[in-house]
Structure 1
Amino acid sequence: MSTGLLEQRANYPRSQYEYGLGGHGTADADNNGRKEIDCSNLLNRMLRDAGYDIPYKTTAQLANDTTYFDVIPLADVDVNGGDIALWVTRGHTGVVEDLDANRVKGNFFGSQTSTGPKSAKFGLNSNYWPMPDKFLRPKAQYKTGGQPTPAPAAPAPAPAPAGPAPLMTFQYPIRKADGKQFTDAEEIYQALGAETSGHYLLGCNKFWHGGIHITDTSAPQCVLNEPVRCMADGEVVAYRLNDDYLESTFGDNEKKLKYSNSFCLVRHEYKSVPNPDEGPNKGKQNTLNFYSLYMHLLPYQRYPLAETERPTPKVTMTVNDFKAYDVFPEANGTPSPGKLSTGTKLEILEQKDVGNVTYARGKILSGSVKNVNRKVREAGAEVWFAYLKNGAPYQNSEPKNIWTADKIVERLRPNYWQGKVKATVVNKLDLYADPASPQNGQPAGAKLGNLQLITGSVVEFDSKDVLNLTVNGVTRRMAKCTKISGDLAGAGTAPSSFWACVENQRDYRILDWTSLTPTSFNTVETASTGIKAGDPIGYLGLTENITSEEGGVNSKHQVHVEIFTAEAGVKDFLKNVAGLKSGKQYLHLAVGVGLKKKAPATDVTPLKNQHAVDLSKAPVIKEGTEDWYEVSVIENGQPVSGLIKKTEAEIVTQHDWEKLGFQIVEECNTAADGFLDPEDTPQFFKDLFAKIDTNHNGEVDAGELAEALKNAETRDQWSKLIAHHPTEWKDKADAPKWSKLDQLLEGSPKTLKHEKERIDEMVFWDDLTGGAAIGNGIGVITHFHPVAIISNLLPSNRCFCFEQGIVNSPCQVGFRDVTKEHFELLAMQLGVEREVLRAIAVAETGDKVPFKEFVAGKQHAAILYERHYMYRFLKVKGYTSQQLDDLSTTEPKIVHVYQSGYSYGTEQAQYERLLRARELDKDSASKACSWGKFQVMGEYYSQLYESVDELVEAQNYCALQHLQYFKVFLTKEKNMLEPMKNKNWLTIAKKYNGANQVGYDTRISNAYTKLKAEW
């Protein structure tokens, strides 16, 4: 009986898929039009397509599985097409297509490293794949329909018990031009430093301003390529979508100025982790319900790319035998320096015809022109080449197009617009019962047995019904759907309606939303639509502003972003009433705390302001028998440094908002109208306001504030202000709160009329009805700086694995060790036996958990400090030979030339030497250590990290970063794959441990032998 696997090959054409380690075939990570999939995931999908209910298995798990698969001996004549071929030592698998009569060669279909899903040869004369180590056959009993069909009247199963609620995730509202996340708040503040207006708290005409403006000055990528992103998991409670730009009138129809009042309002319900500590606070959580607002978004009709927005064409060469020219080859015999290499990418700058052939002038973006094997033109050079023939892509004699065009990426459309969605299934779609509680954050319903819709099926749902539900502890966007077309993967009948995952983001795509037509424009629509941090909100909209009574105009693309809460318990939240001690740690330095000078000095400098110092940036030093934190702060623009005794230091965490400097500011005048009157504010705000008022006229203008915010000390204080004041989105222009505007623009009647017209169009507060209503409706709310609050809510760790694309979402806690599966994945990726890789870990660190606690409660990677490396690095830094000799005499354990037989001492001694070395030169000291499970030297940091600090942070946090650093060391630095594949132990030892290695080759060889027998 056929297994049914071969029949699934047509579902995985190479035009739609490519190889990608760990790829599930659901996402196109590099946006080249093909989804990444590896061999084991391809097999899993083919099994599911064929109707088998078999869980995903890695190649290593397949090798030992007898529950779901039968092992078919090679001698068995029953081995045939549709069985599974498995190369255990090479970590590869695929589906047998045929096997010759002598059982020495054949063909199989699988996801090949070089090509993606494709047929390949194995066995005799294959040139690469030997005969498989095993042949497997899926057991028929696990194929849907292999068992009697259950009675249709059976009640839907109850949903599985809910696990712990997933923690809310957070992201900054914009990303960098390359699509990567901003590393931290400082990096995004640097970008926003280009803004000249629209700053937090102080708006135009001196009214309170609850948000920040992000414009095309600081984020030009958000006009076309990078959408504004949702800042936290939550639900869209209201939005307004313009069909096109609105126009306001200046004067007597003198001018029409475009603007957008499109907005999206999201509600977020934050709950911290429960307090795990025994005592009265056990189980308590800090909570805060808050909102994020995104105003002035791009109108609907502007989403398709205008001709002026379409990027210049980019193509990639698929052949290597077509000539390049330095000049337009108008005449026969035009000299050519060489031929364009396969894979060369060019940007098309110009086109000219010669007869029916169009030549293009292209700028080489990557790749080269070669003359035989010598590169003669590289990236940056411009060359001409045959581009079109009779208006179609030029073809060679096969005929095959000689280039492929890059896909032009359209703007991403938000998913919260209300309307009917038709979507195509891109991966088999599991069907679910109704959730017990159809509300955001609740568990999904139970799976409807093994019911799945096949790839290519079309479903329909209403976007307003999308909810964030938890599936196996992960938040997924789900909705109630109906089937338009398509079939079940196995036997049974699809219900008339069902719940399903409707994710359609690039990083996790279950459905392709082929159409979503909004049903409403230019009016406020209330909603309850689930949305996640990082989901697209929209793009910057055009705003044309009047600059003078004479009709001057400036224009910019912008979004107004704000975060606010209507809750009365903000002060409790800031005080960390749950008593949490987890998360990022800081030294809290209260006003009056004294910083002692280093010995022999005895001076003490009392601090005039409160400070919170990142604990990771406060090294511990010894004076006598006591430990001291060494800190440095800025006071009134001047650096102040000194020591604070460790036993007397107060440690706080990211949950202690108040002690981190966050302060509530509100006017004490009960008649506060939204106009910022500093005289009615607390003294700390008056002092800060006066500091920013550099011309001492009692007012702060946009220029003064923009300049002040370039100072890190002032920016930190300003961004931690939490302002309680009336919202600007409630009252129309005839309300008393705007009467101040009449005074301010008394001499500019046309400008006043224009501004009032826009105010009337912008407000929306009173349209928030039902579940969208905010607080008591009066519109006095508490605002946070959106960057500052998100920065402090983000997990204390930085997930480098997420930034490097190794995992799909940021982790809350790093891996403590490298697992067997991690070794297997790396082995498959490199084509090296897993035992060879792990043997190096055995030799370097005994294959133990690669972390220590040199300081109680602080995880640190295992290290070995190399004093002769420090000698070399300091010499490069400019230390003289005499200085180095003196250090070698006074501190021989810190700086010294290489000395055979040197005893390194204990692990604790290594750490203490690192601390002392950092006092000489911080980066050199960290580079002079070998790090983590595989003990790779820090000097190679630039192969994976932007800085030495990044190396230290990543290695101290997660064992997967040890594995990734090991990988780039092997492949980019030492070119070690061939000796590792061949198990040339001596070459491996010399490359990894140096030419002077003694017995290292024997240690890794012995470790390999033992692992082969026992692992």
Structure 2
Amino acid sequence: MKFAFPILTAAGEEFKDIKALTALINGEKSGHYLLGNHNKWHGGVHISDQSAPWCKDKYPVRAIADGKVVAFRMMEDYLTSEFQGESLRYSNCFCLVQHEYCEINAETKAKNEFTFYSLYMHLLPWKQYQTAEKLVLKKGWNARNSVPHANPDAEQQRADAALPRFALPKDTELEMDSSTPSQKGSVGGKEYDFIKVIIKNKLSSAQMSEAEKAGVLASEGSSVWIANSPDAVTFIKPNLPTWLFDQIEAELLTNMIGRADPGVDGPTGRPVAGKRSVSLPAGTKLQYDAHQLEFHWTGDKARKMARCKYVTPSVDTAPGSCGVAWVCVEDKYIKANTLPPTHLGELYVLPSPVAIAAGETIGYLGLVETPGSLIGGKESKHQVHLELFTQDPRLDDVLANKAGTKGGTIYAKVPADLVLHEKKKQDGKDQWVATGGKSLEELVESPKIEKDAAKQEWAGTSSGKYVKKEQVELLSQHDWLKIGFKKVDGSGSDGYLDSEAPPTFFTDLVNSFDTDKSGELDSKEIQAALQNNGNREQLNKLIVKHPSEWYEKSSASSYLWLDKLMAKIGLPDFDKLVDHEKQRIDKLEWMQSAAKLRLDTEVWHIYPLSILQKNVHSLSITYEQLRSIFPEASKTNLDIVLDEVNSNLERFKLNTRTRQRHFFSQIRGEVGVTMEGRTESWEYSPAVLRSFSSYYRANPQESEIDGYKKDSKGKIIRRADQQAIGRKHFQKLNGNRSSNPSDGFNFRGRGLIQITGYEKYNGFKSEYSSYWSGDVPDAVEQPNVINVMPTAIRSALWFWFKYKVYLSDNNNGFSDVPSVTRRVNGGSVGLDERKEAYKIIETILK
């Protein structure tokens, strides 16, 4: 299961770590976990345009983990409510994703698992989505009324220099004028494609005045010409949520069999693909509902099937046929085109949940306008409410780490009153000397562990001092309860912190983490404790059972507090405000109405970023970093490698920056900046064959036959006989089988870190299922599969771990490159390329 940050940075990059994202969200003025505005329970967090304005329409909110979209409500446009003559817009759009959490003990195969949901409320409604590609300026950039000449002569250069121009400021948003084609033009001796664009955001009066003086009409909605340069212009394509689309039109890319309705396999109960009913040639048009997909089994494989309307292509003068059949609609077989969604404006529980990957688009921040005061006015902001909850009783086993899973971040639980030591140099050696201080009880994340000359191990504390390692308890990130997570049961609470009579629930919340509190707490003390950012780390470890604010309508008993509050305050027009809030509550409810989901009124709420803190590694590699290492790699391959590596940093011993640098420098040194698997070439000259092969030194005449031959001008006129080289030199190497003369040639080096020889190809095939699920790539019968993603990166990870390449990293950085290379290549072949790569990667993976 993969996890992802719910938003990107302002630059469109991944956050450096969970702490950076937490700090951003903690800076929100409202919408914090456990207690929100108006002294009311709040089960999630808000991400708004106060902290992340780029999520309004630039970079969307994303799925935090792999899962399935099980329900949504996407309205055509904003809802409106009226208060004191003011029309107030708001969004009740949401998306609900179901996730299957699973941690596996690598040794015992025991599992910690439970089902949880992520909820994204107040999403941008359908009509507000950007439909055209947007342009954003990375820096100040000239706008013009007309295009300079292309390849100008001297007179044209003088004329172009006098053309009016005005520098639009950085971050100006633009839209292509699709009715006007681009034109070539030269500026400063450099040719550009000039494009006509429409200015989409407001400029200040001073900027518009300056543009007018320069002779350029620059204001919101005006059209100007700019030079299209990747150094200055970013193109942002619309990010539409794919889970929303149900009606699909597609075309078959290959011949296919249409099938009848599925049957059921007796022993397993699986749906089995129906009988063949029609032959569908390539080019057949299909139409189907992507929310009604099913998996039907054919043999030992489950195929993604849809009940399709089909029209076969006409042949000569004979018209095509039409009908209905079940067809396999996996991506490799069809070219698909989505039609406008058909479930807008309704609460929709999907009949067949749609898979969504961590990091995929959920949507953008929706506008929420609220009354400014009792007499009118309004306050506006764009926001999304993000919430995690579960009703799965298996949560208890996960919290207790019943499966005993290990790995990930390590914590040291330091007791109070241990003797503190400090590290000092004595006679050139490190010594740990007792100080007069005593330790405080604390939990240290990723403690520094060191060993002295007598083999005594020491654990670092947050003060920089040390205690003996055997005196502390080392815990993994999977030991939820031991590292401070706690459950608080708020069943039956109405979620209102009454100023005169604070409910027991809120007192329990504070006492669960603030053990120094004694006696009764008043509402002000409770509010201060729950809204104090100094308590935020402890608050975020509370897992709280509470009625969901999305379950009941305003007529339910859980909202009686609103009427009591109205009676207590007794201000003029306060009753109108209460009526206004009740109308919105009724429109926001969805859980009870989505009865098919069988969600309880009371669920366990989890701070959304806590599950990320446990599962998004602080050493995760970002897309931008990997792209900088492999600038010519495809986006598809970059995404695959990121998923495979970031999901397995601990498992495959890529859990330090130096190990990561060595791993990727070996790949870049082996296959270059394209990051594509390649097959080793043995295009050797006779002299080179004799230089490394004892066989060819003993049989020099055969080196002349098997090596390549050049003419007098140095042009190769005969290629090397690589199959012969494989039989004669490589046959007895790399675990190749003596009974299979073709092994040497068949199992040449392939992949990203080139695995070589039958022993490694077969070893990878044999051990594949220990690391990955799904079909096992047959690297023995089809060795070229090692060059194809994701097998290419998986074989590299397997080799790195299996042959303990990571142990050659002695934390010496660049000076360890030769020893790592020897572990990979058995010598120094390619060492210079790897050294160069390491120097580059060291500046990227800091």
For the aligned pair, the TM-score class normalised by the smaller chain equals: 0.5 to 0.7
The question of whether the paired residues in 2 share the 8 Å contact of 1:863 and 1:932 is answered with no
Q: Deviations over 1:580-599 (max 9, x none)?
A: 12x30413305437362215
Q: Deviations over 1:418-458 (max 9, x none)?
A: 64222457x769779788889xxx9997999999975x764
Q: Secondary structure at the match of 2:244?
A: coil
TM-score for both structures, normalised by structure 2: 0.61
User: Using a 3 Å threshold, how does the CA distance of structure 1 residues 485 and 744 change in structure 2: closer, same or farther?
Assistant: farther
The question of whether the paired residues in 2 share the 8 Å contact of 1:931 and 1:938 is answered with no
User: Using a 3 Å threshold, how does the CA distance of structure 1 residues 592 and 444 change in structure 2: closer, same or farther?
Assistant: farther
User: Using a 3 Å threshold, how does the CA distance of structure 1 residues 348 and 741 change in structure 2: closer, same or farther?
Assistant: closer
User: Using a 3 Å threshold, how does the CA distance of structure 1 residues 446 and 169 change in structure 2: closer, same or farther?
Assistant: farther
Residue 194 of structure 1 is matched in structure 2 by: 27
Distance 1:477 1:702 in 2: 52
Residue 589 of structure 1 is matched in structure 2 by: 413
1:543 aligned to 2:368?
yes
The question of whether the paired residues in 1 share the 8 Å contact of 2:69 and 2:356 is answered with no
Instruction: Give 1:222's aligned amino acid.
Output: C
Residue 607 of structure 2 is matched in structure 1 by: 785
Q: Secondary structure at the match of 1:217?
A: coil
Residue 497 of structure 1 is matched in structure 2 by: 325
Equivalent of 1:234 in 60, 67, 81: 67
The question of whether the paired residues in 2 share the 8 Å contact of 1:797 and 1:813 is answered with no
TM-score for both structures, normalised by structure 1: 0.52
Map 1:805-884 onto structure 2 (within 5 A): 805=635, 806-809=637-640, 810-811=643-644, 812-813=647-648, 825-826=671-672, 859=806, 862-863=809-810, 865=812
Distance 2:403 2:341 in 1: 45
Map 1:605-616 onto structure 2 (within 5 A): 608-614=440-446
1:461 aligned to 2:288?
yes
The question of whether the paired residues in 2 share the 8 Å contact of 1:199 and 1:209 is answered with yes
1:731 aligned to 2:552?
yes
Map 1:696-707 onto structure 2 (within 5 A): 698-699=523-524
Q: Deviations over 1:939-962 (max 9, x none)?
A: 6556423x2xxxxxxxxxxxxxxx
Map 1:155-304 onto structure 2 (within 5 A): 168-251=1-84, 254-273=85-104, 275-277=105-107, 282-304=108-130
Distance 1:201 1:224 in 2: 28
Q: Deviations over 1:389-446 (max 9, x none)?
A: xx9999xxxxxx9999999755333233364222457x769779788889xxx99979
The question of whether the paired residues in 2 share the 8 Å contact of 1:722 and 1:783 is answered with yes
Distance 1:608 1:234 in 2: 41
The question of whether the paired residues in 2 share the 8 Å contact of 1:195 and 1:217 is answered with yes
The question of whether the paired residues in 2 share the 8 Å contact of 1:261 and 1:295 is answered with yes
The question of whether the paired residues in 2 share the 8 Å contact of 1:435 and 1:444 is answered with yes
User: Using a 3 Å threshold, how does the CA distance of structure 1 residues 800 and 684 change in structure 2: closer, same or farther?
Assistant: same
Distance 2:233 2:479 in 1: 49
Residue 602 of structure 1 is matched in structure 2 by: 434
Distance 2:113 2:809 in 1: 37
Q: Secondary structure at the match of 2:338?
A: strand
Q: How far off its partner does 1:576 sit? A: 0.8
Q: Deviations over 1:684-731 (max 9, x none)?
A: 7337579999xx97427999866x43x5xx332222211111111122
Q: How far off its partner does 1:245 sit? A: 0.9
Distance 1:647 1:791 in 2: 27
User: Using a 3 Å threshold, how does the CA distance of structure 1 residues 428 and 819 change in structure 2: closer, same or farther?
Assistant: farther
Q: Secondary structure at the match of 1:297?
A: coil
User: Using a 3 Å threshold, how does the CA distance of structure 1 residues 907 and 829 change in structure 2: closer, same or farther?
Assistant: closer
The question of whether the paired residues in 1 share the 8 Å contact of 2:86 and 2:377 is answered with no
Instruction: Give 1:573's aligned amino acid.
Output: V
Equivalent of 1:568 in 393, 397, 407: 393
Residue 749 of structure 1 is matched in structure 2 by: 575
Q: Secondary structure at the match of 1:483?
A: strand
User: Using a 3 Å threshold, how does the CA distance of structure 1 residues 722 and 818 change in structure 2: closer, same or farther?
Assistant: closer
Q: Secondary structure at the match of 1:517?
A: coil
The question of whether the paired residues in 1 share the 8 Å contact of 2:136 and 2:233 is answered with no
Identity %: 26
Distance 2:158 2:392 in 1: 78
Distance 1:905 1:392 in 2: 55
The question of whether the paired residues in 1 share the 8 Å contact of 2:91 and 2:122 is answered with yes
The question of whether the paired residues in 2 share the 8 Å contact of 1:662 and 1:722 is answered with yes
Residue 733 of structure 2 is matched in structure 1 by: none
User: Using a 3 Å threshold, how does the CA distance of structure 1 residues 587 and 320 change in structure 2: closer, same or farther?
Assistant: same
Residue 773 of structure 1 is matched in structure 2 by: 598
The question of whether the paired residues in 2 share the 8 Å contact of 1:224 and 1:539 is answered with yes
Q: Deviations over 1:22-46 (max 9, x none)?
A: xxxxxxxxxxxxxxxxxxxxxxxxx
Instruction: Give 2:90's aligned amino acid.
Output: Y
Runs of at least 5 residues in structure 1 that lack an aligned partner in the other structure: 1-167, 363-367, 374-381, 386-390, 395-400, 634-639, 870-903, 909-929, 948-1015
Distance 2:478 2:434 in 1: 35
Q: How far off its partner does 1:641 sit? A: 3.3
Residue 631 of structure 2 is matched in structure 1 by: none
Aligned length in residues: 645
Residue 403 of structure 2 is matched in structure 1 by: 578
1:665 aligned to 2:665?
no
Residue 731 of structure 2 is matched in structure 1 by: none
Instruction: Give 1:623's aligned amino acid.
Output: D
Q: How far off its partner does 1:659 sit? A: 1.8
Q: Secondary structure at the match of 2:536?
A: helix
Distance 1:738 1:837 in 2: 80
Runs of at least 5 residues in structure 2 that lack an aligned partner in the other structure: 192-210, 217-221, 424-431, 628-634, 654-662, 689-748, 757-795, 821-829
Instruction: Give 1:862's aligned amino acid.
Output: D
User: Using a 3 Å threshold, how does the CA distance of structure 1 residues 205 and 603 change in structure 2: closer, same or farther?
Assistant: same
User: Using a 3 Å threshold, how does the CA distance of structure 1 residues 796 and 468 change in structure 2: closer, same or farther?
Assistant: farther
Distance 1:828 1:539 in 2: 33
The question of whether the paired residues in 1 share the 8 Å contact of 2:419 and 2:434 is answered with no
Distance 1:371 1:414 in 2: 43
Residue 631 of structure 1 is matched in structure 2 by: 460
Q: How far off its partner does 1:510 sit? A: 6.5
Residue 717 of structure 1 is matched in structure 2 by: 538
Q: Secondary structure at the match of 1:214?
A: strand
Residue 740 of structure 1 is matched in structure 2 by: 561
The question of whether the paired residues in 1 share the 8 Å contact of 2:75 and 2:125 is answered with yes
The question of whether the paired residues in 2 share the 8 Å contact of 1:526 and 1:768 is answered with no
1:620 aligned to 2:444?
no
Equivalent of 1:414 in 232, 235, 241: 241
Instruction: Give 2:33's aligned amino acid.
Output: Y
Distance 2:832 2:476 in 1: 27
Instruction: Give 2:54's aligned amino acid.
Output: Q
Map 1:905-984 onto structure 2 (within 5 A): 934-935=834-835, 940-941=840-841, 943-945=843-845, 947=846
Instruction: Give 1:460's aligned amino acid.
Output: Q
Distance 1:570 1:680 in 2: 21
RMSD over equivalenced CA pairs, Å: 6.1
Map 1:668-683 onto structure 2 (within 5 A): 671-676=492-497, 677=502, 679-680=504-505
Q: Secondary structure at the match of 2:376?
A: coil
Residue 322 of structure 1 is matched in structure 2 by: 150
Instruction: Give 1:737's aligned amino acid.
Output: S
Instruction: Give 2:648's aligned amino acid.
Output: V
1:685 aligned to 2:510?
yes
1:531 aligned to 2:361?
no
Distance 1:346 1:175 in 2: 17
